[in-house]
Amino acid sequence: METNLKIIEALANGINPLTGEALPEESPYNSPEIIRALFSTLEFIKYPAKKQPKVKKTLEQKQAENLENGLPKNAGLPWTEEQKNNIAEQFKIGKLVSVLAVEFERTNGSINSELKKQGLIEE
């Protein structure tokens, strides 16, 4: 891989990677479009995470992914204020964490965590 990078770098800099000599003016590697393409390729190879745009998933995509992975539909997703209020009310009237987890389509750990944040249960 390192050898391949050196070859691309040499070509991008107008150098024959085999001889170390400057490429002739008429060489396609001296074309501005080719030079930009080579430098872009080098940048992508050296820093792949930097150049790949992060695509934000929709709520529906995240939920579908959770179900595909065998998780509850809303696992790991943020709580809305309405959900926070609703879970507090449900817990106060005596619903069990396991029942709330099924109803809210979350994990037991998520339910416990939210109830702790609201001060309804202790660590």
In this prediction, residue 46 carries a pLDDT of 81
Percentage of the chain with pLDDT > 70? 94
Query: Which pLDDT score, from 0 to 100, does residue 51 have?
Result: 53
Write down the pTM of the prediction.
0.56
Contacts of 39 (CB under 8 A, 6+ apart): 12
Which pLDDT value is given to residue 53? Answer: 65
Contact 77, 60 (CB under 8 A): no
Q: Are 17 and 7 in contact (CB under 8 A)?
A: yes
Q: How do the pLDDT tens digits run along the chain, 123 residues long?
A: 678 888 888 888 888 989 988 888 888 888 888 888 888 888 888 877 665 567 788 999 999 999 999 999 999 999 999 999 999 999 999 999 999 999 999 999 999 999 999 999 987
Q: Are 32 and 40 in contact (CB under 8 A)?
A: no
What does the pLDDT look like over 40-63, one tens digit per residue? 888 888 877 665 567 788 999 999
Q: Of all residues in the chain, what percent are helix, strand and coil, respectively (each to 5)?
A: 60, 0, 40
Output the furthest CA–CA distance in the chain (Å, rounded).
83
Give me the residue spans of the domains in the chain. Answer: 2-51, 59-117
Range 113-122, long-range pairs (CB < 8 A, 24+ positions)? 114/79, 114/84, 114/87, 115/87, 115/88, 115/91, 118/84, 118/88, 120/88, 120/91, 120/92
**Tokens 């709330």 — which residue?**
100
